[in-house]
Amino acid sequence: MIGKLNHVAIAVPDLEAAAAQYRDTLGARVNPPQDEPEHGVTVVFIDLPNTKIELLHPLGEGSPIQGFLDKNPSGGIHHICYEVEDILAARDALRAAGARVLGTGEPKIGAHGKPVLFLHPKDFTGTLVELEQV
């Protein structure tokens, strides 16, 4: 069902400093920040040869990333994202297997402009999993 790893998302308390560390220390290609108000985040995508890193920073009041940073002030891995061919078929198969889909269960458009869903971390060894339709 799942395809390749699309990205690893890391919540960061200082977006500029984190982007600079990936660019200047690790030599990665860092894209400019983009606000995603419907998700309450500002994201910076870092392109790697085999995947992406997504730096997440709170945007606006009530950002889910702020809650994560309140519990983890230094930041940390927030979620991992896998690609799927058909997000609705994946959702239905996962539900049939007992996995919980967060929210209404209807896909939203993610930061890459593609449909996404999130799966409950308690069903995946404590890891928040995002599925993105390719």
Active site residues: 130
For the chain, the C-alpha Rg in angstroms (whole number) is 15
- Cα angle vertex 110, ends 52, 44, to 5°? 40
Look-up of token digits 């290609």: 29
The Cα–Cα gap between 75 and 12 comes to: 5
Q: In one letter, which amino acid is 42?
A: T
